[in-house]
A and B are shown apart, each in its own frame.
Chain A
Amino acid sequence: MATYLEFIQQNEERDGVRFSWNVWPSSRLEATRMVVPLACLLTPLKERLDLPPVQYEPVLCSRPTCKAVLNPLCQVDYRAKLWACNFCFQRNQFPPAYAGISEVNQPAELMPQFSTIEYIVQRGPQTPLIFLYVVDTCLEEEDLQALKESLQMSLSLLPADALVGLITFGRMVQVHELSCEGISKSYVFRGTKDLTAKQIQDMLGLSRPAVPIQQGRPLQTPEQPVISSRFLQPVHKIDMNLTDLLGELQRDPWPVTQGKRPLRSTGVALSIAVGLLEGTFPNTGARIMLFTGGPPTQGPGMVVGDELKTPIRSWHDIEKDNARFMKKATKHYETLANRTAANGHCIDIYACALDQTGLLEMKCCANLTGGQMVMGDSFNTSLFKQTFQRVFNKGFNGEFRMAFGASLDVKTSRELKIAGAIGPCISLNAKGPCVSENELGIGGTSQWKICSLDPSTTLAIYFEVVNQHNAPIPQGGRGAVQFVTQYQHSSTQKRIRVTTIARNWADAQSQLQHIEAAFDQEAAAVLMARLGVYRAESEEGPDVLRWLDRQLIRLCQKFGQYNKDDPNSFRLSESFSLYPQFMFHLRRSPFLQVFNNSPDESSYYRHHFARQDLTQSLIMIQPILYAYSFHGPPEPVLLDSSSILPDRILLMDTFFQIVIYLGETIAQWQKAGYQDMPEYENFKHLLQAPLDDAQEILQTRFPMPRYIHTEHGGSQARFLLSKVNPSQTHNNLYAWGQVS
């Protein structure tokens, strides 16, 4: 189905949308029988070189419950200057500005190639971007030093007018005032006490003094030049100050006795950061960037006590309900996350420590607000340094690859309803006629808030076909979906991106092959995986696996061709052929398997899985394995233990790790130093090839993967061996002894 593949690809490139089904079963009953729900992966801000934004307001359908945006699918009566909404069929007058409209003089939004269009609108005051650093000082000296350097470096990467703030924490939480000359000043909070936003603002002196209402004098909106300026200052003004301040930053001075963890008040620090922004810049783009080097050990949000003899909770503890602090801490961070999201801010977590840092509890901070989550071993690693640097990368057009405070509004034609979304978003609780009662993911709404997103942020959106079987859709009917994303661009402009797509309806009984052929198995795999992972967050692991299995079985039943009791007769059409394989690897993936992963790691993996685009998601599900050898050019090989050969170099990309694995022979050669001999230059090239390729991946990926260079028998080889399909094991006659 080359055509479908092309179609899918074309659609993705243009609209950033991949549907599991590109021809939609026309009735509810049939849709449910398709096993894989009708859903799509939407990358709202997919980077498009050829999409010049238009500088005017979109035209909206006048029906209050609809408010769909004028789009190429609308029927337009050029003479009457009317257009009919393709979702609610409301007839609308064009606004006066469109008086000159005609067949030959169409606005961009009516042209088919602009099924995705971006508007720049002038609304409200433009506020600069805000970056609030929340820095843990309970670090080893080197770590702190590295972190300080990274932070200092980052100042030069920020837009000059961006506001920055600094909060440091250890046993206490300090909010640094940046505007002061001479003496450096900070507000200190104790790390054990949860404060309400009001209290925090009072204590920081942010609450506006009750302005006495002066009679007779009209209140001039004093629009006070931001009271918060003491804590959040434009980079260009306090660049030097802050650099010095960061330079003078000391390790937390409170003594840590033998056998104790340092007291770390992450919970309160975050709470204060949230409160600070909440009080000063609600509903403007802001990032709270948390840098932490260990688990919160006191106060609200503490994850583990300060006694080193009590280790931090493991999955085992959690299963046994032995994680004392988990529930409370989770609740604390959830509350924070919700507040943050409500204010349109986001929280990034950079956790660098050898042990766990409480990501499990804190994950919602990043998940609900669209923040980043980065996990590393130390701030003094290139993994962290480069990742952090990459946060401030700019896109091709010289703009930061970040956007803030987006709200995604989904509109559907009548036959469809919205079941939910899975991704770095929260519900805006917009109930409407197109909201389904059945929820998949975050449902019950047609609008979601995505506090922070970048061009690769991808949401899975699930639909439900509600058309009844007995009310067939006329032949050639199309269903339509419109995604309206309003967001604050990194240039602080407000923008609205509108994507309107349509797909054909098909009767599943008569036209099953069409539907089958239009199946996007990659998208389907990712969509199913997201559902699975979403469930895994709240359900027991085995249940999710069983559910996945059942879905797979049902799908195969539906679309497979086989003779009963004859496994060998089983066939799946090409459009389904890879799907089982994805499911197989998904089952083994760290997203569903917690074995061998700490709770933090699981949270970390799941976090990324829920926001990356389709390609990256697939890599996560089924890592890519390339083989380099003298036998030919590099080639992708099966993720199978049979691919591990002595004379091969393997390059595995699991998204989180890049593993270069030298086969046994190759490794010996390398040890023998052949690569340094001129006559074996080709060997040198062979060794170099995967390195170059890996570098390429490393350059582009965010977060930067863990880079592992290992060889046959190396301890790090486990990263590879744990991923491959163990078709060959010590049980089934293994020629070359397996170590590990």
Chain B
Amino acid sequence: MSVNQQAHTGPPYGQPQPGYQGYQQPAYGGQPLPAVPQSQYGAYNGPMPGYQQPVPPQGSLRAPPTSGAPPPASGASLPSGHLAYSQFGHGDVQNGIPASAAPMQRPPASQPFLPGSAPTPVSQTSTFQQYGHPPASVQQLSNHMAGMTIGSTTASAPPPAGLGYGPPTSVPPVSGSFSATGSGLYTPYTASQGPPPTSVSQGLPLAQPPFPGQPISTQRLPTQVPGFAPPPSSTGIGLSSYPPTTGAPRPPTMPGPPLPGQTLAGPPASQPNHVSSPPPPPSTMAGPHPGPPMSGLHGPPPPTHPPQPGYQMQQNGSFGQVRGPQPNYGGAYPGTPNYGSQPGPPPPPKRLDPDSIPSPQLNELPPQQKPRHRIDPDAIPSPIQVIEDDRSNRGSEPFVTGVRGQVPPLVTTNFLVKDQGNASPRYIRCTSYNIPCTSDMAKQSQVPLAAVIKPLATLPPEETLPYLVDHGESGPVRCNRCKAYMCPFMQFIEGGRRFQCCFCSCVTEVPPHYFQHLDHTGKRVDFYDRPELSLGSYEFLATVDYCKNNKFPTPPAFIFMIDVSYNAMKSGLVRLICEELKSLLDYLPREGNMEESAIRVGFVTYNKVLHFYNVKSSLAQPQMMVVSDVADMFVPLLDGFLVNVNESRTVIASLLDQIPEMFADTRETETVFAPVIQAGLEALKAAECAGKLFIFHTSLPIAEAPGKLKNRDDKKLINTDKEKTLFQPQTSFYNNLAKDCVAQGCCVDLFLFPNQYLDVATLGVVTYQTGGSIYKYAYFQLETDQDRFLNDLRRDVQKEVGFDAVMRVRTSTGIRATDFFGAFYMSNTTDVEMAGLDCDKTITVEFKHDDKLSEDSGALLQCALLYTSCAGQRRLRIHNLSLNCCTQLADLYRNCETDTLINYLAKYAYRGVLSSPVKTVRDALINQCAQILACYRKNCASPSSAGQLILPECMKLLPVYLNCVLKSDVLQPGPEVTTDDRAYIRQLVTSMDVAETNVFFYPRLLPLTKADVDSDSLPAAIRNSEERLSKGDIYLLENGLNIFVWVGVNVQQGLIQNLFGVSSFSQISNALSTLPVLENPFSKKVRSIIDMLQVQRSRYMKLIIVKQEDKLEMLFKHFLVEDKSLSGGASYVDFLCHMHKEIRQLLS
């Protein structure tokens, strides 16, 4: 995409080096404006070649709409500013808004501009991009840009200016660079248009030209515009200017077209178009962008356009891809005839030109030293846009799984799945649905091949649960050799007497009882009667051979183990738990329509010693048995410890009443931990069943006992080679314990209530390896945290869970599962063992080639999960998935899923911190992504200037998401992040599914004040940047763990009254953990939104009220992931530049 136009900025204009300087001066002075705006458009035109290629058309179509509208505003501003700035500065400008911003940096200079700019944009707004039209003057182009903004923001724009400056600073350097890129990106598209000379050229030019162009261009523009010829020259310049990459020479070869000339030309042309073609759709984008915020940042000009070119670009990109419907495009582009005619630009590449890409890390450099290049944040790919597009395009139709290698809709899209032979994406998602045929290709692309599997995923009520198949005493039909289970891909031959395994090709006799005739197509006659022949997911009833010790399992047990040390008692936690358990025990998971749960329960309390309870139904009163021999744990009783809830109801109730009393005046502050797990384990062993321990724990276990820990928290280790020790368990004791637990099917769920460091990294080991969950409530306070805790507890107790699970992933010849990520234990290299596996747990599996694949047969995955259901039934759940294989890298890139990729990368990185310094891990991540993108650029993208950043449509969000991963607490902790938090998050993420990682890394930010109180829908999300926040609005941000409600200082009192029930901003208490229940539409709406979100997530999110300019805001800002973070994380724009630089290094 055009995201980074910056690159161009410099080069294009500046002719060879000299050019630069030259540019600035003259150009600016002259006609600053024009060039800028165009650039974006230019992009489209630019890449001539691209268009011709097939796919494109569609892609292109789309893009326009969104982006289209916005354009203008920025442009205008630029001009003025330019003079002052160097070329680069201009470049920025181009992006439209951003460009201006860059200049802005220098306050003095910029300001002046602002005024100027602002106005301009407005005027331009109207226009879309007219790719076709080369003619328009540069200014106009710029106008376009502005226009975009204007639509939405224009008005606002002005104000910001003043403020703007301040804000931008944060980003300054970086931004500068971006802006440049932005312009460049688009070029490709334009190319296609090429035909109309102008337009084509424009495309490219747009990007580049803008910056440099403008200044320079100003002069030239005029000239150029008219004749396209000029563009070329400009290009040349541009390149040259950026000595390094593009170098003058290139121009011709590469993008030559795009950059220079085009840009210039383009813009002009486009503008006209715009004008003509009314404005467009882009508005959508614009809408959301709060003009103001932007402005604030950029200060000067037009900052606002959110959607801006950048966006458009992206959209375009999306078009390229199969996915995007192009309607929009059509609309937007209409103007451009070219598109239609042309095949459509090559898919999606997105280009940024960064020339000067300052790496994010360079930020430290004093801004002045570097020329600032600003990139318009709106010009770079927007996650929100992508999500919205996918939602609107794919949310309506059910996703039918019959076809091999189909890319499912995004996780953020609501869609129905119809199982027609492949597992639902709710069960399995892959990083790519088109696998390279050879390992060389795979290596070259560096795209990890991974599947994210959630074997027991919960399905929406409209979808049917996997059918249970009973093959009788002989058990499921399997391949003789590889033991794969019968599935739709098995080929029946010889009239149905045998079948050939789709995984290993071995031919196996069909057992007599399973024989069935084939119809004329070779299908079995009973094809539709048998789930295992027609569906992607189904279950087999396991026979006794599949059971431990060849004995059918007994129903599992839940053991509640409650810390009753001083802290737990004092905080009221124990009483709370006991109260809750009384009712919760009636909701233990039960199978199907059974009347009561088969699960038995047991109770243990502990501090330095353990207390077991005999709650046998025949007793008048529970009996407590204290085990103080924590060094050598054992279970003091068998009969009466694990009981049926209904039978022992009164005794249990009596026990739960008494526990809080008994320990009411305890003074014991020390606790043990390992013995608690051992106790549970021993109890399950004695009862010969699998089960789950619910441990409620408060403190670092320092009492003398096995697994005793010491406080080793040391923040000084951060950023050293020893940092990894913080994530490693203190002692191997817990690893061994975990192993024993897994062998017994003892899953451990941990609820932590720490008031200080308690070494989650170590305590969590068993939980982690047994497939359990950790819940952490730091500084637990009854009033504020009880809802959250109780909701989590309820959900955790009630959720569907399988025990004693073993999962194996089989693949067709050619690839092999080589690596596994998640909460489990592996005793060998193929079997994933989990003592417990619940409906939220996800396992990520990485595949590697061990042979060639063929395009014809594709690749198959079969995930078989053997587990014990909550009623004690042994079952096998099978998920099958078929993927395509490709010999062209382009196919690979076209069928990727960035969300899944991020899921994999995050897990990979989070595991990496255990063994490598965090920095190494971060670098490796960046490097891998750079390679992925570079490979694309090199092999799939249309030739263009090296200064352009071109992103595959499917991966255009990779940089932004990756940046979020890099900035996450684990990889780049801020000062307020505790070691425990990091360990906690690390483990948490490791079991997350794609939807969870998606929102976790890129939180959802909803403007509540924009919510339609009359409909059920959520307000449209906005991007996670402070720029997007308006002082007058209230926002909600959720990341799966927390919900923030951010209240701007200027929010109307009425809203405050409606939502918080207080009369003024200052009276809002940020100690609230829930919103007050008020009878007004707004309050109801907000609460219903929150409730809706809570339901969607597997954990109850903590609600935090943040007032603008309040202390807590720092915390909140941490989640505005597109901004530079306090802990040193790069802003999106900066990171994009950095990424571009990396890519360019790889390419050169």
Contacts and interface: CB of A to CB of B under 8 A. Distances in A.
B636 to A, nearest CB: 3
A204 B628 contact: yes
Given A182-B658, A253-B638, A187 B628 contact: yes
| Interface-centre pick from A187, A195, A248, A254 (highest chain B CB count, 10 A) | A187
A185 B611 CA distance: 9
Contacts of B627: 187-189
Contact of A203 (B609, B639, B640, B655): B609
A255 B662 CA distance: 31
A677 interface: no
A379 to B, nearest CB: 23
A184 B639 contact: no
A169 to B, nearest CB: 11
B638 A186 contact: no
A202 interface: yes
A620 interface: no
A526 interface: no
A188 B638 contact: no
Given A190-B632, A253-B640, A174 B625 contact: yes
A172 B624 contact: no
Interface string A248-283: 100001110000000000000000000000000000
B148 to A, nearest CB: 73
A193 interface: yes
A198 B1085 CA distance: 64
B622 interface: yes
Interface string B616-630: 000111111111110
A172 B636 contact: yes
Contact of A253 (B611, B620, B622, B639): B639
Interface string A175-214: 0010000111111111001010001001111000000000
Contacts of B639: 253-254
Contacts of B637: 172, 188, 253
Contact of B628 (A183, A205, A255): A205
Interface string B633-666: 0101111100000000000001100100110000
A184 B621 contact: yes
A185 B658 contact: no
B44 interface: no
Contacts of A186: 623-626
B427 interface: no
B950 to A, nearest CB: 69
A248 B636 CA distance: 17
B499 interface: no
B612 interface: yes
B635 to A, nearest CB: 9
A184 B626 contact: no
Nearest to B637: A253
Contacts of A174: 625, 636
| Interface-centre pick from A184, A188, A195, A253 (highest chain B CB count, 10 A) | A188
Contact of B629 (A177, A183, A195): A195
Given A172-B634, A253-B637, A184 B629 contact: no
Interface residues of A, number: 23
Nearest to A201: B628
A255 B688 CA distance: 13
B1091 to A, nearest CB: 40
Nearest to A185: B624
B625 A187 contact: yes
A692 B609 CA distance: 58
Contacts of B623: 183-186, 248
Contacts of A193: 629, 632
Contacts of A248: 619-620, 623
Contacts of B655: 183
| Interface-centre pick from B619, B629, B638, B661 (highest chain A CB count, 10 A) | B629
Contacts of B629: 189-190, 193, 195, 199, 203
A182 B625 contact: no
Contacts of A188: 612, 625-627, 636-637
A171 to B, nearest CB: 9
Interface string B805-817: 0000000000000
Contacts of B621: 182-184
Given A182-B658, A255-B638, A203 B624 contact: no
Nearest to B628: A203
A347 B625 CA distance: 25
B628 A202 contact: yes
Interface string B363-402: 0000000000000000000000000000000000000000
Interface string B275-294: 00000000000000000000
A687 B407 CA distance: 106
Nearest to B608: A205
| Interface-centre pick from A199, A253, A254 (highest chain B CB count, 10 A) | A253
Contacts of B612: 188
A585 B619 CA distance: 56
Contacts of A253: 637-640
Contacts of A195: 629
Interface string A456-491: 000000000000000000000000000000000000
Nearest to B657: A182
B407 to A, nearest CB: 57
A254 B682 CA distance: 14
| Interface-centre pick from A172, A186, A189, A202 (highest chain B CB count, 10 A) | A186
A288 to B, nearest CB: 20
A187 B658 contact: no
Contacts of A183: 621-624, 654-655, 658, 662
A161 to B, nearest CB: 27
B379 to A, nearest CB: 69
Contacts of A255: 638
B626 A187 contact: yes
A258 to B, nearest CB: 17
B629 to A, nearest CB: 6
A99 B655 CA distance: 70
| Interface-centre pick from A172, A195, A199 (highest chain B CB count, 10 A) | A172
A205 B668 CA distance: 11
Contacts of A202: 628
A203 to B, nearest CB: 3
Contacts of A199: 629
B628 A185 contact: no
A186 B626 CA distance: 6
Contacts of B625: 174, 185-188
| Interface-centre pick from B620, B621, B624 (highest chain A CB count, 10 A) | B624
A172 B638 CA distance: 11
Contacts of B662: 182-183
Contacts of A187: 609, 625-628
Interface in B581-628: 609, 611-612, 619-628
Contacts of B609: 187, 203, 205
A279 to B, nearest CB: 13
A185 B634 contact: no
A89 B654 CA distance: 75
A202 to B, nearest CB: 7
A531 B634 CA distance: 47
A193 B632 CA distance: 9
B173 to A, nearest CB: 60
B424 to A, nearest CB: 46
A174 B627 CA distance: 9
Interface of B: 609, 611-612, 619-629, 632, 634, 636-640, 654-655, 658, 661-662
Interface of A: 172, 174, 177, 182-190, 193, 195, 199, 202-205, 248, 253-255
The 8 closest A-B pairs by CB, nearest first: A203-B628, A188-B636, A253-B639, A187-B626, A185-B624, A190-B634, A188-B625, A188-B627
8 contacts: A172-B636, A183-B622, A183-B654, A185-B623, A187-B609, A193-B629, A203-B609, A253-B639
Given A183-B662, A188-B612, 6 more contacts: A183-B624, A183-B658, A187-B626, A205-B609, A253-B637, A254-B638
